[in-house]
Amino acid sequence: MKVYKFGGASVKDAEGVKNVALVLETQGFEKCLLVVSAMGKTTNALEKVVEFYFKKQDYQAEIELIKKNHIDIAKGLFSENHPVFGEISLFFDDIDSFLRRNKSPNYNFVYDQVVSCGEMISSKILSEYLNDIQFFNHWLDARDYIKTDSNYREGIVNWQETEQNISKLDKINCYVTQGFIGSESNNFTVTLGREGSDYTAAIFAYCLNADEMTIWKDVPGVMTGDPRKFENVELLSHISYEEAIEMAYYGASVIHPKTLQPLKQKNIPFFVKSFVEPKKPGTKVGNSEENELIESYILKENQTLLNVETRDFSFIAEDHMSLIFTLLAKYKIKVSLMQNSAISLALCLEDKFGNVNQLNEELQQSFITQMTKNVSLFTVRNAELEKLDQFYKDKKVLLEQIAKKTFQMVTM
């Protein structure tokens, strides 16, 4: 069985949905499972609904705008009396009904119940369209299969229960399901982290013992840098699981960091291909002797540099580190780069949940801190170290680090 993941850019409008069918024609639509993201910028729009809800602003007007966009997309795919229009309306009625009834002040809980609807709607539209053009499939609710804990917005998968559920699927059929979402023991929706649809595809591939998995992107494959940010980048045709994991860890946006480990465990070949040019080979990730260790560039923006010093000029010791990392875990803040000296610790942080100010305030009870927001972390993998001077040009460097052939700098 094959697993295909289509991101939001591939289904952003009616023509995109039709193009998915063209991609499937080139690949063969049999014994496969499709994982689909929310359409276009729907996730951002639904995040705005949640924001307005908590600010007691007119979130219902925002819901109507998102609903209209999906209805307009559906009009380009279906006849006017198609039952899918009723399905779309029901999903949006559910959002409004949930927010009217909700009593929970937990932002992350509300976020997951609302934002997850984007995937539900897009997968229903795609499934119905494919059935209409004779690409027969079964629509699955991923929440019935992927079970997690109650860590809303960053759900941790219960692998044993999830594998039991998914292994029951009949592998001779085709399926369409949602990325990004699972459910906890009370069947409330839990999302798997932003951009988590790649991870969903890997979960299904692992549990189905898939023959291969492909992520369809708007780029030719894994490049040596984001072509929107770097010039003269090239396609990597073969890379190892290990290299792909390293690239994802450092922030390469083409692969979600959690995606690769499940595939590596079962040696499932993984491809990144273009939905614009589906016949081209793209990038293969696997146990490859042809691993291309070419200099690659990764830029993570909107980072925060936090310097932490002891108040009494004592060494940064194990008890200090324990306290600092306990607080980082508490506020769900990821460390992108760390460097310590005798009396200070420099941390380049990724603050997905907007908690860095609270972290800083709590740290200041025990330490002296200095915080610089909106910095960038620039990473060079497989760096040609003799040419490092070129990377300093026109940059204000706040921190730098070299580990083997990986060079990193934090810049303004």
Q: Find the helix or strand (DSSP H, E) in which 362 lies.
A: helix 356-363
Secondary structure of residue 365 in the 3-state scheme: coil
**Would you say 246 is a known binding-site residue?**
no
Please check if 330 is assigned to a binding site.
Answer: no
> Is 163 a known ligand-binding residue?
no
228 is in an annotated binding site: yes
In 76-116, where does DSSP find H-type helix? 84-101, 107-115
Q: For 175-317, where are the alpha helices, taking DSSP H only?
A: 197-208, 241-250, 260-265
**119 annotated binding-site participant:** yes
Determine the Cα–Cα distance for residues 154 and 35; give it in Å rounded to an integer: 19
Q: If 0-12 CB within 10 Å is exposed, 13-18 middle and 19+ buried, where does residue 280 land?
A: exposed
* Distance, CA of 46 to CA of 348 (rounded, Å): 29
Rounded CA gap, 234 and 224, in Å? 6
H or E element that contains 128: helix 117-132
Q: Tell me the C-alpha distance between 181 and 331, whole Å.
A: 22
CA distance 108 to 150: 10
For 133, phi and psi rounded to 5 degrees? -100, 20
The pair of three-digit structure tokens given for residue 225, joined into one six-digit string: 């840098």
**Exposure pattern of 35-64 as b/e (b: 16+ CB <10 Å)?**
bbbbbbbbbebbbbbbebbeeeeebbebbe
Beta-carbon contacts of residue 7 (< 8 Å; ≥ 6 apart) = 37, 197, 215, 216, 217, 218
DSSP state of 156: P
User: Which sign, positive or negative, has the C-alpha torsion 317, 320, 324, 330?
Assistant: positive
| Binding-site residue positions for ATP | 5-8, 228
| Binding-site residue positions | 5-8, 43, 119, 228
| Binding-site residue positions for substrate | 43, 119
